[in-house]
Structure 1
Amino acid sequence: MKNIVILISGAGSNMAAIVQAAHQQRWSERLGIQISAVISNKAQASGLAWLQSCSEFADIQTEVLEHTQFASREDFDQALLKRIDVHAPHLVVLAGFMRILSPTFVAHYAGRLINIHPSLLPAFTGLNTHQRAIDAGCKFAGATVHQVTPELDHGHILAQAVVPVLAQDTAADLAARVLTQEHLIYPKAVLDFFKLEEASRQAM
């Protein structure tokens, strides 16, 4: 079985989209892919409460590792790394995990750590992407699934979705429109990661 560990910090709507897709498309039975754990750095993350309330997802472990309990970023990352590795992950998915990860952490999961960012990378790395797109006069915005590297919001692009920026848009309006597309492309990008890996293995 190929295990996925998902990291969240808040509502975890992208996590929920992936979990629901895996359940509806029967990833475990058909493809040998399972989501084994969802870990949050915040105990109050509503995504954990949602997952715990859904009996059909009872086999997915929920865990909390509070970053505020550690003296440094590196100490937290080392503890998180150990917690993740208990699940022998084939893929680690960042789904609204609001932490900048240390180079050691990223290197440990090189090639099997992915993230979704609410812009059309390489444009608008970092925060406040929607307001920045509006302020720049962009006609289009979107979201990008990418492999994680030590450089923030860089790495090989796995999938993108494009949405229009409308004349009357606020940052909240644009964020909501982008988020609907994130929920579509992230589960597909996760599945495509495994399909591409299997195709490469068969080609060897």
Structure 2
Amino acid sequence: MKKFIIIMIIVMIAFYGCDNGSDFYDREIVVSEDCTIGDLVGLEFDSDSLRCGRKSNVYFGLGEIDESMLFSPLGFYLFHDSASISTLDSIWILETDPVKISTCEKLNIGQMSLSGAFCLHKFDNTVKRESVNYYFNSENNDRGYYFIYSKHAAYKAFCNVEAIDCYLRYSCVVQYNGTYDFSKIPNADDAERKLIGCVL
């Protein structure tokens, strides 16, 4: 009888201590990586998660600003092909331009301290790469490119990318429960830097 009572007490402590029904983040992971090296200077979205690369129908990465120059500075772009429209994936990019915000379809992700709005990006068959809005807030030093990628029937990824010169680092909060409830704002500084300097 004493064993039964002790087991019941342990079970009750475990039940009430582990889950009170308000934990939205039990199916969430944080992925951070430096993608600076080689031909992986981009961020691609596979069926199960995201990783460094430039091989999927939709990816973010570095590209030459002026493709006609031999040595062009690099910029950060969203790349996609004609098959991107049929994927049913969606991308919400943080915008700060009041004109773009007033005309876009917006995503509400709760109480985040980022100013601006996440606007739905619409794929265009005629455009293969597009510039992404750079965000900077001097009050809390939030900077970089912020977006949310929704992989149809798989996951939602809230990402921050820092892309300067030939560097590309990212951190993403990835949610597998089908919601846009993220526990924090990602920070690309969480990625361990692979290179001190880079030469093109």
Q: TM-score range by the shorter chain?
A: under 0.3
Structure having the higher Rg: 2
Higher helix share: 1
With normalisation by structure 2, the TM-score equals: 0.26
Higher relative contact order (CA 8 A, sep 6+): 2
Q: TM-score, normalised by structure 1?
A: 0.26
**Structure having the larger proportion of residues in strand:** 2
